[in-house]
Amino acid sequence: MTTKILRVHQKETAPFQFEETLTRGSRAAEIFTRAARISQPVRAEVVLTHGLGEHSARYTHVAEALAEHGFRVWTYDLHAHGRSPGRRGDAPDYEVFLEDLACVIAQVPKDGAPLFLIGHSFGGQVTLNYLLRREVTCRGAVIASPWLRLAFRPAAWRLVLARLAMKVWPGFRQSTPHDWSRLSRDFEHLSGLPGSELMHHQLSARLFFTMVKEGAAALEGASRLQVPLLLIHGGEDSVTSAAATKEFYRKAGVVDKTFSVYPDARHETLNDLCRDQVIYEIVQWMEKRLGPKSEG
């Protein structure tokens, strides 16, 4: 694994800088990573995995909020997302996403600060499957609106076309719905997020059916999960199923588990009107699993 530093990006109002790097993963593909450089002692390392079609810069406000508590956030662009290379909306297999996460975790210093994982939507699915399939020392996982099951059934014609494509052209892509009102009640906040040009709204037949299968696999394996878990879902999420998240919560083998529903929130709880409350809950949850804050 080799790492090339691209630049240090500083936000004037933030108590940290971002160091942006390109890291070569296990398949020689580059992964774009952003690591917060905070001025205070690092109390915990946090690796955050974004959702389908988006990218890491959309979580800058989350990294900034966590940095105020000594949590250093590492975000990255999944394969074929944002500034990581690859054919948008497609992937050769599911393992490439687990390998991406493993590669980023490997960059995190092993100097005693505990590790937390955060995942949203498809990133939540990837994070859960990573915890179920790979060995990692992790103090806890925060999973927001995971894609375990969809909250809607795609149009019949889309499914027929995708099934036909699987026989002759698995990489055939269809456009995905991108109605912002399904994501958040706060359009002003969404429109102000950086990197709108890095978003994509495409999904191949191969990747769609893989994601459906792997969401079901995560649910089936929930009883094996032994990492402290905070599950978060919006009560008005019309993208991923809150009922499936509740089912995962019931089945999860770990004793230390919490399921929080924000009744009026939509799919992106970290970008909705309740985002400050959600971030506060995440900080408090992680604080409790770290113990008392040192005054030194």
Structure tokens at 275: 């985002």
Give the residues across from 230 on adjacent strands.
142, 258
Tell me what pLDDT residue 183 has. 97
Q: Grade residue 212 by pLDDT with cuts at 50, 70 and 90.
A: very high
* Percent of the chain scoring above 90 in pLDDT: 86
The answer on pLDDT for 291 being more than 90 is no
Q: Grade residue 28 by pLDDT with cuts at 50, 70 and 90.
A: low
Least confident residue range of 29-33, 164-168, 208-212, 266-270: 29-33
The answer on pLDDT for 260 being more than 90 is yes
Q: Grade residue 217 by pLDDT with cuts at 50, 70 and 90.
A: very high
Interacting residues of 292 by C-beta distance below 8 A, sequence separation 6+ = none
Q: What is the pLDDT of residues 115-173, one digit of tens each?
A: 999 999 999 999 999 999 999 999 999 999 999 999 999 999 999 999 999 999 999 99
Question: What number is the average pLDDT over the span 74-101?
Answer: 96
The answer on pLDDT for 67 being more than 80 is yes
Sign of the CA dihedral running 142, 148, 153, 156? positive
* Packed helices 242-251 and 205-220: angle between N→C axes, nearest 10 degrees: 40
Tell me what pLDDT residue 293 has. 64
Least confident residue range of 7-11, 54-58, 92-96, 262-266: 7-11
Least confident residue range of 34-48, 199-213, 269-283: 34-48
| pTM metric for this prediction | 0.93
Least confident residue range of 3-12, 14-23, 193-202: 3-12
Among the listed residues 14, 13, 59, the one whose alpha carbon sits nearest the alpha carbon of residue 271: 59
The 10 Å Cβ neighbour count of residue 126 is: 28
Average of per-residue pLDDT values in the chain: 92
Q: What is the pLDDT of residues 171-181, one digit of tens each?
A: 999 999 889 99
Least confident residue range of 7-21, 85-99, 125-139: 7-21
Q: Which residues of 255-288 are buried (b: 16+ CB within 10 A; e: fewer)?
A: eebebbebeebbbbbbbbebbeebbebbeebbbe
Question: What number is the average pLDDT over the span 70-89?
Answer: 96
- pLDDT higher for 20 or 177? 20
Tell me what pLDDT residue 5 has. 46
Tell me what pLDDT residue 190 has. 96
Homologous superfamily (CATH) for 3-288: Alpha/Beta hydrolase fold, catalytic domain (3.40.50.1820)
Structure tokens at 5: 């530093």
Among the listed residues 148, 152, 149, 154, the one whose alpha carbon sits nearest the alpha carbon of residue 126: 148
Question: What number is the average pLDDT over the span 53-74?
Answer: 96
Distance CA 75, CA 56 (A): 5
Sign of the CA dihedral running 234, 238, 241, 243? positive
